[in-house]
Amino acid sequence: MNPPCVITKDEQLAALAGGITAFYQLIEKHTGKPLSGDFRGYATVTKAELANYLRKHPGLAERHISKESDVLKQHDLPALISDKDHWIVCWIDHGRKVDEERFEDINEAAASFLMAYW
């Protein structure tokens, strides 16, 4: 089923760079009502496109880095954590990091984190 509206890639990328809540708000802006159903039907961008967008907008990716001590207090959420000269994207499950993925590029890591629900 196709969504009732088309959102430009530029709008999607700008919203995703702000986080999933910003993406939900973008959908609501275009549809005129709260999101119901799967938000992914509105997304036409890729992780690679998001990583490139973040590269062109320095500082956006870094906004999503969390301290490991803070995220380990949460449950069932993705996390982006700095680890020396690398970044880790993982899922937090009852105070444990699972499904860890290491990145050398903060933009690639942030794109993976921001699109963790895909």
Judge whether 99 lies within some domain: yes
Judge whether 91 lies within some domain: yes
> Residue 82 sits in which domain range?
64-105
Closest by CA to 107, choosing from 29, 34, 50, is 50
pLDDT of the chain, 118 residues: tens digit per residue: 445 688 999 999 999 999 999 999 999 999 999 888 888 889 999 999 999 999 999 999 999 999 999 999 988 999 999 999 999 999 999 999 999 999 999 999 999 999 998 8
Q: DSSP character for 34?
A: -
Looking at the structure of the chain, the number of domains it has is 1
Judge whether 49 lies within some domain: no
Alpha-carbon distance of 102 to 106, in angstroms, equals 10
Judge whether 84 lies within some domain: yes
